[in-house]
C-alpha cells in the first residue's frame, strides 16, 4: 500500500512538472513567434490509380509490362510535391536519380532477357518506390537524425536494409523526418522542423519514424524503413493509420543507422517495415532480414481458427500513463468479436500484472549495465548527452535548458529533457536491479502464455493521435509499445479504421519469439475486416 501511494505521489509530481514545462514551452514559442501550424489547407486526396496499389501488385504489373516503372515513380514524385509542403515528411529527395533508375528498369524489361517468374524470385519489388527514415544511411543523402551538429553529414553508403531493398529492385525516393536522435514520440527537430499528421495537420505523426509513416499514409510513398527501440515503428504507424512491424529481436540487421545501439540495447533496437498494405509486410520482411529470415517460419501456412488469442485492454492502471481512450477499447472489443464469430476461437481476457510497470521496466533495462555478462569490459555505453554533442563532446542538459528558454539552443525541448532525466537516473542505478529481474519474469510469463500458437491483442497507445507538443503532458505513454522491445517479442501494429474525429485507430498484435508469421497473418485478416489504410485526403 505504501509503495502504491509513493508511486502515485511520484507520478503526480512528474505530471505537474510536465505541465509546468509545457506552459514554459508555450510561452517561449509565442515569444519567438512559433507554435503556429503553417500550410493548414486540407490534404488533397490520392486519386492517381498508380498510387493505390500494394507493392506486391505494383511489382507484378511492372514485371508484366502493364505499366512503365518511370510512370510509377513520376506519379509518386508528383504526389510528394503536392503534399509534402503540408505535412513536411520528406526532408531530402533523390527524384532525378530515382527517375533515371526507373528508366533503367524499363529498358531492362524491354530487352526481355528474364522471364516473369525469375524476376519475381530475384527482384520481388522491381520498380517499387520506397522511402527511408533519415536515421538510416541512403547514399548521397543526409544522415543527421535531426541533430544540428550533423547537418553536413552525407551518407556515402547504404544501410544494410536499404541495400537489401535496392537489390530486390525497389527504388528509393528520399529520406524522412524523425525526432531528434530518435528518442521521442513526436517527429520534430531543429534541423527539419515538425511533421504533421495527414489526417489532421494539428496532430502528431509519432516518433521516431514519424516522417516515414506519415508519407506512406499520405500516399507519397508505398513502403519504408523504420527502426524501433521503444515503439518508434509502431507508434507512428498507429497515429498515421498504416502497418508497422517490430520483428523478433536480432532478425533484421540494424547496421547503417545513427544512432545505433550499444551493449544491451542491441537486443532492444529493431529495424522493420512500415507499409500501407498488409500483403507487403511479409515480402518486405523477407528482403530486409536477408539470410536471417530462415530463423522464422515466414512461409508457414497459418490457420487462425486453430490459434490461441488473448486480449488485454490496458496496462493495469499505471499512475504514470494515461487511461486508454474509450474508442480504442471499443475497437479492440470489435476485434475480439470478429475473431470469435469469424473463426470460432475463444479469446481469453488476461491481466498481466507486471505490464503495469512497463515504463519503469523499459527505463531500467535501457540504463542498466551488465557489461561483465556481455563481455564489454568496463566501457560504458555512450550517454544521450554525449550523442547530443556529437563527436564525443558531452552536452550539459541543465545549461541547454537555460539556453532553450532564451531561444539559443540547437536542441529540442524533449531531447534536453531526456538528457536531464538520464543524469538523474544514474544516481539510482542500484534500484534498477529489481526491475531488471521483473523484466526477465515478464518475458518468461509472456513466453509461456503465447506458446507456439498464441497472439496477444494489446493497445498500440493509450491515446488517439494527440495534438502537437501534447506528448510533453504524457511523456511515458510510449510504454505501451516499449515493453515489447525489452522482452524481444515480435509485434505488428494494425490499423482498424477511424475514430469519430476521423483519426486512425489501431491495435498491437504480439506473438512469441520468432513467431512473426502469426501476427503478420492476423494483420492481413484484420485488414480485410476493418478496411486497413484509409485515404486521408478523401475523408
pLDDT in tens, 299-346: 999 999 999 999 999 999 999 999 999 999 999 999 999 999 999 999
Q: What percent of the chain has pLDDT over 70?
A: 87
Query: Under 8 Å CB-to-CB from 522, ≥6 apart: which residues?
Result: 302, 304, 307, 455, 492, 494, 509
What number is the average pLDDT over the span 84-108?
98
Helix or strand run (H / E) with residue 372: helix 371-374
In the predicted model, is pLDDT for residue 82 greater than 50?
A: yes
Q: What is the mean pLDDT of the chain?
A: 90
Q: Is the pLDDT of residue 427 over 80?
A: no
Mean pLDDT, rounded, for 407-420: 82
More confident residue, 45 or 29: 45
pLDDT band at 422 (very low <50, low <70, confident <90, very high): low
Q: Is the pLDDT of residue 376 over 90?
A: no
232 is catalytic: yes
DSSP result, 278-300: GGGHHHHHHHHHGGGGGGS-TTS
Asked if the model's pLDDT at residue 425 lies above 60, the reply is no
Give bridge partners of residue 356 from the DSSP assignment: none
How far apart CA 228 and CA 281 sit, in angstroms, is: 16
The one catalytic residue in 144, 208, 221, 227 is: 208
Output helix, strand, coil percentages for the chain, rounded to the nearest 5.
Answer: 50, 15, 40
Q: Span 8-22, mean pLDDT?
A: 58
Asked whether the predicted pLDDT for residue 58 surpasses 80, the reply is yes
152 class by beta-carbon count within 10 Å (0-12 exposed, 13-18 middle, 19+ buried) = exposed
Which of 25-29, 259-263, 334-338, 375-379 reaches the highest mean pLDDT?
334-338
- Is residue 223 within 8 A of residue 492, CB to CB? The reply is no
Note the maximum CA span of the chain.
76
Its pTM stands at: 0.92
Per-residue pLDDT for 45 more than 80?
Answer: yes
Dist CA 420 CA 422 (whole Å): 5
pLDDT the model gives residue 25: 55
Residues 198-240 have pLDDT tens digits of 999 999 999 999 999 999 999 999 999 999 999 999 999 999 9
Active site residue 423: no
Catalytic residue of the set 145, 200, 221, 232: 232
pLDDT on residue 120: 96
H helix or E strand, kind and range, residue 330: helix 326-343
As given in the structure block, the three cell numbers for residue 408 are 539559443
Three-class secondary structure of residue 468 per DSSP:
coil
In the predicted model, what is the mean pLDDT of residues 256-260?
Answer: 95
| Catalytic pick among 68, 133, 354, 356 | 133
> Residue 14 has what pLDDT?
59
CA dihedral 211, 244, 257, 369 (to 10 degrees): 120
What are the pLDDT digits (tens) for 134-171? Answer: 999 999 999 999 999 999 999 999 999 999 999 999 99
Confidence class for position 114, pLDDT limits 50, 70, 90: confident
Q: Could you give phi then psi for residue 505, rounded to 5 degrees? A: -110, 160
Query: What confidence score (pLDDT) does residue 423 get?
Result: 64
CATH no., domain 55-358+434-530? 3.90.1300.10
417 Rama class: left (phi>0) / alpha (psi -120 to 50) / beta: alpha
pLDDT the model gives residue 346: 98
The pLDDT value recorded for residue 429 is: 59
524 has a pLDDT exceeding 90: yes
Put residue 146 in one of left, alpha, beta given phi > 0 → left and psi -120 to 50 → alpha: left
pLDDT at 492: 99
Answer yes or no: 133 catalytic: yes
pLDDT at 1: 43
Amino acid at each position: 500500500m505504501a509503495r502504491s501511494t509513493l508511486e502515485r505521489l511520484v507520478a503526480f509530481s512528474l505530471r505537474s512538472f510536465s505541465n509546468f514545462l509545457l506552459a514554459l514551452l508555450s510561452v517561449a514559442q509565442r515569444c519567438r513567434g512559433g507554435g503556429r501550424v503553417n500550410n493548414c489547407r486540407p490534404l488533397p486526396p490520392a486519386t492517381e490509380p498508380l498510387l493505390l496499389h500494394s507493392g506486391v501488385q505494383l511489382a507484378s504489373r511492372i514485371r508484366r509490362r502493364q505499366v512503365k516503372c518511370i510512370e510509377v515513380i513520376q506519379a509518386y514524385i508528383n504526389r510528394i510535391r503536392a503534399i509534402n509542403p503540408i505535412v513536411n515528411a520528406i526532408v531530402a529527395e533523390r527524384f532525378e536519380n530515382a527517375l533515371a533508375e526507373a528508366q533503367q528498369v524499363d529498358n531492362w524489361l524491354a530487352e526481355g532477357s528474364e522471364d516473369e517468374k525469375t524476376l519475381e524470385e530475384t527482384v520481388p519489388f522491381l520498380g517499387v518506390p520506397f522511402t527511408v527514415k533519415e536515421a538510416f544511411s541512403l547514399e548521397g543523402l543526409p544522415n543527421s537524425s535531426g541533430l544540428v551538429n550533423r547537418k553536413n553529414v552525407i551518407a556515402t553508403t547504404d544501410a544494410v536494409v536499404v541495400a537489401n531493398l535496392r537489390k530486390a529492385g525497389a527504388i528509393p525516393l528520399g529520406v524522412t523526418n524523425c525526432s531528434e536522435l530518435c528518442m521521442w514520440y513526436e517527429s520534430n527537430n531543429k534541423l527539419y522542423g515538425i511533421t504533421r499528421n495527414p489526417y489532421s495537420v494539428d496532430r502528431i505523426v509519432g516518433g521516431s519514424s514519424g516522417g516515414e509513416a506519415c508519407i506512406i499514409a499520405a500516399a507519397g510513398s508505398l513502403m519504408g524503413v523504420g527502426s524501433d527501440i521503444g515503439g518508434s515503428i509502431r507508434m507512428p504507424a498507429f497515429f498515421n493509420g498504416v502497418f508497422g512491424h517490430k520483428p523478433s529481436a536480432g532478425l533484421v540487421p540494424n547496421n547503417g543507422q545513427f544512432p545505433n545501439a550499444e551493449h544491451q540495447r542491441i537486443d532492444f533496437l529493431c529495424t522493420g517495415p512500415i507499409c500501407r498494405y498488409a500483403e507487403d509486410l511479409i515480402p518486405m520482411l523477407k528482403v530486409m532480414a536477408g539470410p536471417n529470415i530462415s530463423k522464422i517460419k515466414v512461409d508457414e501456412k497459418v490457420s487462425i481458427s486453430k490459434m490461441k488469442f488473448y486480449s488485454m485492454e490496458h496496462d493495469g492502471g499505471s499512475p504514470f500513463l494515461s487511461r486508454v481512450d474509450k474508442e480504442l477499447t471499443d475497437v479492440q472489443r470489435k476485434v475480439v468479436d470478429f475473431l470469435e464469430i469469424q473463426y470460432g476461437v475463444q479469446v481469453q481476457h488476461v491481466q498481466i500484472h507486471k505490464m503495469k510497470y512497463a515504463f519503469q521496466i523499459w527505463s531500467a533495462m535501457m540504463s542498466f549495465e551488465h557489461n561483465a555478462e556481455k563481455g564489454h569490459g568496463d566501457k560504458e555505453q555512450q550517454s544521450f548527452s554525449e550523442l547530443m554533442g556529437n563527436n564525443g563532446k558531452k552536452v550539459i542538459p541543465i545549461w541547454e535548458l537555460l539556453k532553450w528558454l532564451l531561444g539559443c539552443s540547437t536542441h529540442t525541448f524533449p531531447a534536453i529533457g531526456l538528457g536531464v532525466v538520464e543524469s538523474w537516473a544514474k544516481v539510482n542505478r542500484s534500484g534498477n536491479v529489481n526491475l531488471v529481474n521483473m523484466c526477465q519474469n515478464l518475458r518468461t510469463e509472456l513466453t509461456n502464455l503465447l506458446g507456439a500458437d498464441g497472439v496477444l491483442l494489446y493497445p498500440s497507445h493509450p491515446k488517439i493521435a494527440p495534438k502537437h507538443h501534447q506528448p510533453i503532458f504524457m511523456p511515458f505513454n510510449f510504454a505501451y509499445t516499449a515493453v515489447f522491445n525489452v522482452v524481444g517479442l515480435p509485434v505488428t501494429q494494425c490499423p482498424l479504421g477511424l475514430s469519430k474525429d476521423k483519426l486512425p485507430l489501431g491495435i498491437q498484435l504480439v506473438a512469441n519469439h520468432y513467431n512473426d508469421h502469426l501476427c503478420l497473418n492476423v494483420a492481413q485478416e484484420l485488414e480485410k475486416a476493418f478496411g486497413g489504410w484509409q485515404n486521408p485526403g478523401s475523408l
